[in-house]
Structure 1
């Protein structure tokens, strides 16, 4: 009898040990859900639709530049997990980048257009600040400008994203080890605008004449000097960046950096002056990984959003390819590492983009070799569902819509005609417009949304938006949205808006299984941000 009882006792012990072991492997133990390094890559405006454009191009374009037909996101899925995340703020349906990035950086609900504050306006510790408390290195990389909404949300505490003259001081106060982006004009004193001043000449020499020297400030603060006093080495071009080994502030454009089409063209020239997003990211990893305690790095592919605001499909594709190129390089760096969590997500979707079928250019009936058509029946779809060859034409765009209109606006007034716009569009894109379409693109009206002094709605005369004008609020750019409408049928593309949507966004994660498991759910960005914060140790 005693032997039976002893055997039962041992069985119970073994079961208990097994259960404890399972519990530990499920990630309950705190030490099991940590990572030495956390890399968060944000595709600004990169909803499922934008991801779909990249995947469609990779899989279907007859002459895709992705030779193996796979993307970096395919690599993420091979070894990681997928979740989705809702992006709304504390009291709105739709978010802006500042509030959304704040929620990712702090794990707390924010109000619209706030930076680093909770919904009530209280400053909150962000993931950069926590990482520094833990002795880790930290970095911010963006192809927009370092004072723009997304990178600023990971460092600044401001009531509104527009306070870009105050944000550099917040960035310096946060003390991130590496900050690489554009936005030099917000760091220079007002006096730098005097081209005859010694300061202007000194700055031109410092930058190697690689950046236009101008200031967006209204004071005498030279924040480059302040950065140097805090131990930052300064970099203004690719060569200077490659020489950086420690604490580095890299500012590579007066405002936003080169767009994806320009970067694609620049990459063909090994001597290009401005570093690419991939090159900035790799140098940041090189510097940050020297810290034995680990690091946190945020990389923003920010101009996906800018392309989508303007409904510029060709530019959007190049921005997605820039994102893909950068992510592939990060995955190469992290190959076979067990100490690094990589999170890829978006702050929101922009534009309501999508390919769609139409009633224009319906294919003619034709025969097919299959047995069902052997009796002479013809294959005759009711609509034009889109030929994949359109993807090659989208990629072939040589100038962004913004740059096309910049060229147009630099012409003498008497040459700013519908015919000239037609010539420019037809020269730089594969989707031709007529002079009659150009007339509509250039048509104007009294601003129906006019608000005196408003940064976006303050123009009394604006391009005439015949449909959904209320959702195209960046009115100075609306000619670009009108151009998108003119070529929509030939591109097989529709755009719903010039602003953001509430579409949930993807969350791709790779790392140790115990770390990535909690991300494979329906999340909100506050929870996603908290998971990233909790992953640090």
Structure 2
């Protein structure tokens, strides 16, 4: 075969296997015996590139003298580990809706859709299947609970952005625990249709909680809706240095409370846990926000692992839906000391740039950067950044004001040695780890949609239509 024909044929074959489901988890795993899992805790660090995992572990070692929980599980050989591809039905590079739908519905869908195929047919989400089987189910996240990743486990929708409608779908599904942000999709003051969705949930028998104290005090058998903030919860770094944010739960606290509620069911439970703002930080090229939210996610991993280690009947899945921005710590004579400056960060790039306007002076901006992160912005750099504030707009998903996140990260790089490949998702293969009964089903390489059947197999749950 000619060389060009070989590459042409190989590329076409790869496209066929990457974009079209072709093999079931059963055929991949065979009939090996394994202990059935009663529960599943599925943890997703949304948008976590491998560089994010690596740098968070390094930061943990430099700041606290120990490894992250995730890497400790690798160190101590406690998990099965694989690479997972992350393609959607129409692209090598997925969005979060299609990625979660691959897990949730077991079939790849186009970017932007939630468990709805290109022909309009729908795939039943996995939490509905587990609920039908008698298990308790739920999701907790640091972004709106109606956002793409939790929604992909829960609902069908042609448009991931129809979050007001997704909130109403949660009402009818009556899942046992749903907690995160997204106040604007439940509050009558924020919704365009002025429906009081909080009242609808309360009238339907839900316990509705709006702050950490009320969440921690939950002790009953009602289904729970917890909505703690408009949009996503604050970045972990910002929240840690703002006393007024102390009424907001961490992801680890939400995870612990969700487990305590769901585990009362003798038939078991399935919980999805999402560190959603890891993805938002990557979109903004915000290294402090990224790494401290990854470490906040790692605390939730520890909560899940500690429970599973005692319980002996819980499969813990730890992964990401896709990479984002491909950050990394790059070579230089000051790489170590530069990276250590992140330990001194008190606030994120978002906190800095959202506190600036067209009237801010270069001196005030320099002072703000020094206060927040301890490094010196030159007058010329400050004036360059302030030029972006002359014309701001309100369009866009992750940066609606079009603030100068990219340029700020470029200026910051010489102080942190952290660089970025882009400001968007990547098509990388990603890390996947499993602990507990059912981990034997994991192969060294897996396609994202295969996790759907693997979870059903691990719990011995049949397909519920």
TM-score when scaled to structure 2?
A: 0.86
> Does residue 157 of the first structure (1) align with residue 156 of the second (2)?
yes
Note the 1:381-392 alignment, pairs <5 A: 384-392=332-340
Paired with 2:407 and 2:421, the residues of 1 have a C-alpha distance of 12
User: Counterpart of 1:161 in 2: which secondary structure?
Assistant: coil
Q: Go from structure 1 to structure 2 and tell me whether the alpha carbon gap of 1:385 and 1:108 turns closer, same or farther (over 3 Å shift).
A: farther
CA drift at 1:443? 3.4
Secondary structure of the residue aligned to 1:123 is: coil
1:441 corresponds to: 385
What is the aligned residue count?
Answer: 429
**2: CA distance between counterparts of 1:119 and 1:501?**
23
Question: Can you give the 5+ residue segments of structure 2 that lack an aligned partner in the other structure?
Answer: 1-28, 461-465
Alignment match of 2:42 (pick from 28, 40, 43): 40
State the secondary structure of the residue aligned to 2:271.
strand
The CA deviation at 1:150 is 1.0
- In the alignment, the residues of structure 1 paired with residue 236 and residue 291 of structure 2 have an alpha-carbon distance, to the nearest angstrom, of 8
Following the alignment from structure 1 to structure 2, what is the Cα–Cα distance between the partners of residues 391 and 309? Answer: 20
Q: Cα distance, 1:475 vs. partner?
A: 6.5
- Alpha-carbon distance in 1 for matches of 2:51, 2:234: 23
Alignment of 1:141-290 (within 5 A): 141-189=140-188, 192=189, 215=190, 217-245=191-219, 246=221, 247-265=223-241, 272-290=246-264
Name the SS for the 1:438 alignment partner.
helix
Q: State how 1:445-456 maps to structure 2 within 5 Å.
A: 455-456=395-396
Q: 1: CA distance between counterparts of 2:187 and 2:396? A: 25
Whole-Å separation in 2 of the counterparts to 1:454 and 1:444: 14
Give the counterpart of 2:354 among 388, 399, 406: 406
Alignment of 1:496-507 (within 5 A): 496-507=421-432
Partner of 1:485: 410
Distance in 1 (CA, whole Å) between partners of 2:399 and 2:249 is 29
Residue 529 of structure 1 pairs with residue 452 of structure 2: yes
Choose which of 301, 306, 311 in structure 1 pairs with 2:275.
301
Q: Given the two structures, how large is their TM-score scaled by the length of structure 1?
A: 0.75
Contact 2:125 2:156 in 1 (8 A): no
Structure 1: stretches of 5+ with no match in the other structure? 1-25, 193-214, 358-383, 448-452, 458-472
Asked if structure 2 preserves the Cα contact closer than 8 Å seen for 1:310 and 1:477, the reply is no
Q: Deviations over 1:272-327 (max 9, x none)?
A: 31111111100000000000000000000111111111111111111111011111
CA shift for structure 1 position 188:
1.8
CA distance in 2 between partners of 1:336 and 1:27 (Å):
29
| Contact 2:135–2:265, Cα closer than 8 Å, also in 1 | yes
Distance 1:233 1:445, change over 3 A: closer
- SS of aligned partner of 1:244: coil
Q: Deviations over 1:352-376 (max 9, x none)?
A: 211112xxxxxxxxxxxxxxxxxxx
Post-superposition offset of 1:27: 6.8
